[in-house]
């Protein structure tokens, strides 16, 4: 039973395999957080459950660590809920009414019920528990039980109070297009550190995830508290440290330019903000989050196929003949899925026209799309296609027929980004248009895979079709409608797999991943830059969903020349794809690629569903190294990348996750297979014979039959 209620002490205790999460209702009725971390005797916290006044300026200090901050009275910390009633009163006095424990999605769930002392507003706080992963999924629901409207001005998913630490260091990711998922650290001082998106989608500049430690945690050691929000629109995570040294992280849908009308009888449910604890550093945190995605978030269990995508080879110049040429080369290499990217529809010869007109371009496919699909299938591959349903080029039939279908303010000219505007997904007819054309596309062609792109932010957020008091619902309605569309398509076409892409990795989060099987982390396909992007990505997201393409050298973005083996090894640390212009590849390169693809198929179960250990980072070293191990420690693969050798020196690398007493066959270190004990591999490490610039190696480690721990 992971939920224990100590009624006599007014304490709630959530137990997971290795943690305690404790809070109580104090004498003023405030839900006061008391502890979160490694397992303790929770009832010992009872003596700390009390209201504390410091001065008339800080009358209820415990409100700095309230389980959920209702804005009203003397509560001044980051609000979890701020509301306005129909008589213009903007003050909440939420009184604890009771609790219930029930199963939610098969998991034990504690639900706290609070009610305003005067108004007809109820709030339910949910704590859904995943004991074996030490995770708690938190979300909240507001219910209008009266006759009058209530305006929700800010409604966050959860507030996580951190335990006391000598210093609080926050880790997060920052980035930009082509440079997503860069790891950053900041030590908090009094005030707030905010990471956010106000651009209408998750965004490349930050990602809704945080980790907190006392400055001493590292990849494989130390205590780390962390959380990740499942929302694909405007979001905000606020880490706040007070003068009384309380540190709290509040997160949810961004309250900027946002409000929600809660009409009589209606309720609003926030997205889930999952929180967890790891006592084995950032690596432990990531392995927990990877397993969480696989077991609780992703829609399917299927392993990722090796795909080919023609975007970098042909851009908008998509013609059946060249696509078939590419497909033949891809099939020869062992590719399993062939994907035609942008440019196959309407008058889409550049990014200036055609977006919105989803009919196959007859000039580009004179025998129809199915002729290409048949060729691809005959070559032994399945077929995928690119779409960007939320956007429209003004130069398109769709826009000419429906200029009012985009978000806009009547007195403003809509800003065009990549020559496109954003469709108003909140309008029922627009939503239906997207469902209809996608249904047509998927039911009239044998398509196995959809890459769903979104290449701009939202501007001029006028929500046509909605009354004045609901205009600021746009940010939420866009995402709700997007989720509805994906849910409907996935239900209608259960065998079609989906990728989330937004000009690279700008819409990857636990909200979108409930619908998407895989994700495109970045348009930057330089295998060296990718190592940093992929490292940050795997802090939160599983290598299983991380699509990585092998592209041409020199790289189109930065001109860097890299050996084919380096490009493959970098891409093999996630879900492998090929994105180069194969028509230009020499036969020897196609041959070498085939060998790498064969190796990948032999190790992909480790990369995609094994445990990942990041052994070395380019942030601190000239070596990047990452290892994957199966659950019973018998099978492992390591990829090592050298940036630049200096002074003729060689490096050593210590492995992880093996069984000390087992003897392993180690392939890849030298020409011969060597036998080494797990203890030797992990404690003494292995010598690396890597040389020059941009060297890389794949090392395969397999337990010898008959050896054991
Ligand atoms: C942006 C994506 O990230 C690319 O992979 C490609 O699909 C282009 N859009 C197509 O316009």
- Taking the centre of ligand 1 as the mean of its atom positions, its distance from the CA of residue 208, in whole angstroms, is 23
Alpha-carbon gap, residue 256 to 241, rounded angstroms: 21
Distances, alpha carbon 125 to alpha carbons 98, 110, 366, in Å = 11, 8, 58
CB 509 within 8 A of CB 228: yes
Query: Which regions in the chain score pLDDT beneath 70?
Result: 1, 707-709
Q: Which pLDDT score is estimated for 301?
A: 86
Ligand 1 closest atom vs CA 309: 5
Alpha-carbon gap, residue 113 to 110, rounded angstroms: 10
Contacts of 395 (CB under 8 A, 6+ apart): 347, 352, 353, 354, 419
Instruction: Give the closest residue (by CA) to ligand 1 atom 3.
Output: 503
**What is the Cα Rg of the chain in Å?**
27
- Taking the centre of ligand 1 as the mean of its atom positions, its distance from the CA of residue 617, in whole angstroms, is 28
Instruction: Give the closest residue (by CA) to ligand 1 atom 1.
Output: 503
Q: Is the CB of 388 under 6 A from ligand 1?
A: no
Q: Is the CB of 504 under 6 A from ligand 1?
A: yes
- Taking the centre of ligand 1 as the mean of its atom positions, its distance from the CA of residue 558, in whole angstroms, is 17
Alpha-carbon gap, residue 193 to 249, rounded angstroms: 9
- Residue 414 CA to chain centroid, in angstroms? 30
Q: Is the CB of 354 under 6 A from ligand 1?
A: no
Q: Is the CB of 271 under 6 A from ligand 1?
A: no
For ligand 1, pick from 342, 349, 353, 451 the residue to mutate: most ligand atoms within 8 Å of CB: 342
Alpha-carbon gap, residue 667 to 374, rounded angstroms: 40
Q: What b/e sequence results for 465-495 when a residue is b if at least 16 CB atoms lie within 10 Å of its CB, and e otherwise?
A: ebeeeeebbbbbbbbebbbebbeebbeebee
Give the residue numbers marked as catalytic.
Answer: 453, 523
For ligand 1, pick from 344, 389, 417, 455 the residue to mutate: most ligand atoms within 8 Å of CB: 455
* Of the candidates 508, 522, 500, the residue with the CA atom closest to the CA atom of residue 177: 522
Q: Is the CB of 342 under 6 A from ligand 1?
A: yes
- Burial label, 7 (beta-carbon count in 10 A; 0-12, 13-18, 19+): exposed
Instruction: Give the closest residue (by CA) to ligand 1 atom 11.
Output: 342
SS3 string, 493-520, reads CCCCEEEECECCECCCCCCHHHCCCEEC
Q: Is the CB of 523 under 6 A from ligand 1?
A: yes
Q: Is the CB of 200 under 6 A from ligand 1?
A: no
For ligand 1, pick from 453, 454, 549, 551 the residue to mutate: most ligand atoms within 8 Å of CB: 453
**What single-letter DSSP state applies at residue 12?**
E
Q: Is the CB of 181 under 6 A from ligand 1?
A: no
- Span between the terminal Cα atoms of the chain, in Å: 33
- Taking the centre of ligand 1 as the mean of its atom positions, its distance from the CA of residue 420, in whole angstroms, is 14
- Taking the centre of ligand 1 as the mean of its atom positions, its distance from the CA of residue 197, in whole angstroms, is 21
Ligand 1 closest atom vs CA 501: 3
Q: Which pLDDT score is estimated for 408?
A: 97
Q: Which pLDDT score is estimated for 152?
A: 98
Alpha-carbon gap, residue 169 to 185, rounded angstroms: 7
Long-range residue pairs from 18-26, CB within 8 A, at least 24 positions apart, any chain? 18/134, 18/277, 18/279, 19/134, 19/277, 21/127, 21/136, 23/67, 24/49, 25/49, 25/96, 26/50, 26/51, 26/62
- Taking the centre of ligand 1 as the mean of its atom positions, its distance from the CA of residue 539, in whole angstroms, is 24
Q: Is the CB of 277 under 6 A from ligand 1?
A: no
- Classify the phi-psi angles of 634: left when phi > 0, otherwise alpha if psi is within -120 to 50, otherwise beta: alpha
pLDDT tens digit string along 317-361?
999 999 999 999 999 999 999 999 999 999 999 999 999 999 999
Alpha-carbon gap, residue 192 to 573, rounded angstroms: 36
**What single-letter DSSP state applies at residue 405?**
G
- Taking the centre of ligand 1 as the mean of its atom positions, its distance from the CA of residue 452, in whole angstroms, is 9
Q: Is the CB of 344 under 6 A from ligand 1?
A: no
- Taking the centre of ligand 1 as the mean of its atom positions, its distance from the CA of residue 97, in whole angstroms, is 51
Q: Which pLDDT score is estimated for 1?
A: 66
CA angle, residues 445, 449, 453, in degrees to nearest 5: 110
- Taking the centre of ligand 1 as the mean of its atom positions, its distance from the CA of residue 522, in whole angstroms, is 10
Instruction: Give the closest residue (by CA) to ligand 1 atom 9.
Output: 503
Q: Is the CB of 499 under 6 A from ligand 1?
A: no
Domains of the chain (ranges, CATH numbers): 3-297 (2.70.98.60), 307-609 (3.20.20.70), 614-703 (2.60.40.1180)
**What single-letter DSSP state applies at residue 119?**
S
Element (H, E) at 395: none
* Of the candidates 280, 11, 231, the residue with the CA atom closest to the CA atom of residue 133: 280
Q: Is the CB of 453 under 6 A from ligand 1?
A: yes
Q: Is the CB of 386 under 6 A from ligand 1?
A: yes
């Amino acid at each position: 039973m992971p939920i224990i209620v100590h009624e006599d002490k007014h304490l709630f205790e959530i137990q997971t395999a290795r943690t305690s999460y404790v809070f109580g209702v104090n004498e003023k009725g405030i839900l006061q957080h008391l502890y979160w971390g490694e397992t303790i005797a929770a009832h010992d916290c009872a003596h700390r459950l009390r209201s504390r006044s410091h001065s008339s300026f800080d009358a209820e200090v415990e409100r700095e660590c309230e389980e959920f901050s209702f804005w009203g009275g003397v509560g001044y910390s980051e609000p979890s809920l701020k509301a306005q009633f129909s008589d213009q009163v903007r003050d909440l006095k939420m009184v604890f009414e009771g609790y219930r424990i029930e199963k939610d999605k098969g998991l034990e769930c504690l639900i706290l019920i609070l009610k305003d002392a005067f108004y007809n507003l109820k709030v339910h706080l949910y704590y859904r528990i995943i004991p074996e992963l030490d995770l708690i999924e938190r979300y909240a629901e507001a219910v209008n039980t009266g006759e009058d409207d209530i305006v929700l001005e800010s409604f966050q998913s959860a507030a996580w109070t951190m335990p006391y630490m000598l210093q609080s260091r926050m880790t997060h990711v920052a980035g930009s297009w082509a440079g997503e998922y860069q790891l950053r650290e900041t030590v908090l001082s009094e005030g707030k550190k905010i990471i956010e998106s106000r651009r209408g989608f998750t965004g490349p500049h930050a990602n809704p995830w945080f980790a907190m430690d006392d400055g001493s945690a590292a990849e494989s050691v130390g205590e780390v508290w962390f959380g990740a929000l499942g929302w694909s629109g405007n979001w905000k995570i606020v880490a706040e440290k007070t003068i009384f040294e309380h540190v709290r992280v509040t997160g949810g849908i961004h309250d900027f330019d946002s409000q929600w009308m809660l009409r009589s009888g209606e309720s609003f449910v926030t997205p889930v903000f999952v929180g967890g604890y790891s006592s084995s550093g950032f690596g432990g945190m990531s392995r927990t989050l990877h397993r969480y995605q696989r077991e609780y978030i992703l829609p399917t269990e299927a392993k990722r196929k090796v795909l080919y995508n023609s975007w970098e080879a042909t851009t908008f110049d998509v013609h059946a003949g060249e696509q078939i040429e590419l497909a033949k080369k891809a099939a020869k290499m062992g590719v399993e899925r062939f994907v035609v990217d942008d440019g196959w529809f309407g008058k889409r010869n550049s990014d200036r026209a055609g977006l919105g007109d989803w009919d196959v371009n007859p000039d580009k496919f004179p025998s129809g799309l199915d002729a290409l699909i048949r060729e691809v299938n005959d070559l032994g591959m399945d077929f995928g296609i690119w779409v960007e349903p939320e956007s429209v080029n003004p130069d398109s039939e769709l826009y000419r027929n429906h200029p009012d279908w985009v978000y806009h303010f009547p007195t403003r000219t809509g800003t065009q980004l990549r020559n496109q505007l954003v469709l108003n997904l909140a309008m029922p007819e627009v939503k239906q248009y997207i469902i209809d054309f996608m249904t047509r596309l998927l039911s009239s062609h044998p398509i196995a895979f959809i890459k769903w792109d979104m290449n701009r932010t939202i501007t001029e957020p006028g929500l046509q079709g909605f009354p004045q008091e609901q205009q600021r619902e746009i940010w939420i309605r866009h995402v709700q409608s997007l989720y509805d569309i994906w849910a409907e398509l996935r239900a209608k076409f259960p065998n079609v797999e989906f990728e989330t892409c937004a000009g690279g990795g700008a819409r990857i989060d636990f909200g979108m991943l409930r619908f998407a099987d895989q994700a495109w982390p970045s348009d930057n396909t330089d295998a060296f830059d990718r190592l940093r992007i992929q490292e940050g990505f795997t802090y939160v997201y599983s290598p299983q969903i991380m699509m990585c393409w092998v592209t041409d050298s020199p790289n189109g973005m930065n001109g860097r020349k890299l050996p084919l083996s380096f490009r493959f090894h970098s891409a093999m640390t996630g879900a492998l794809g090929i994105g180069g212009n194969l028509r230009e590849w020499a036969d020897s390169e196609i041959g070498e690629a085939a060998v790498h693809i064969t190796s990948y198929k032999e190790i992909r179960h480790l990369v995609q569903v094994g445990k990942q250990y990041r052994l070395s980072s380019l942030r601190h070293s000239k070596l990047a190294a990452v290892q994957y191990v199966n659950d019973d420690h018998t099978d492992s693969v390591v990829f090592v990348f050298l940036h630049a050798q200096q002074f003729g020196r060689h490096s050593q690398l210590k492995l992880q996750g093996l069984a000390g007493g087992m003897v392993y066959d180690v392939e890849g270190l030298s020409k011969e297979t060597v036998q080494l004990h797990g203890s030797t591999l992990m404690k003494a490490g292995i010598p690396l014979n890597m040389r020059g610039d941009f060297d890389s190696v794949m090392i395969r480690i397999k337990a010898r039959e008959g050896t054991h721990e």
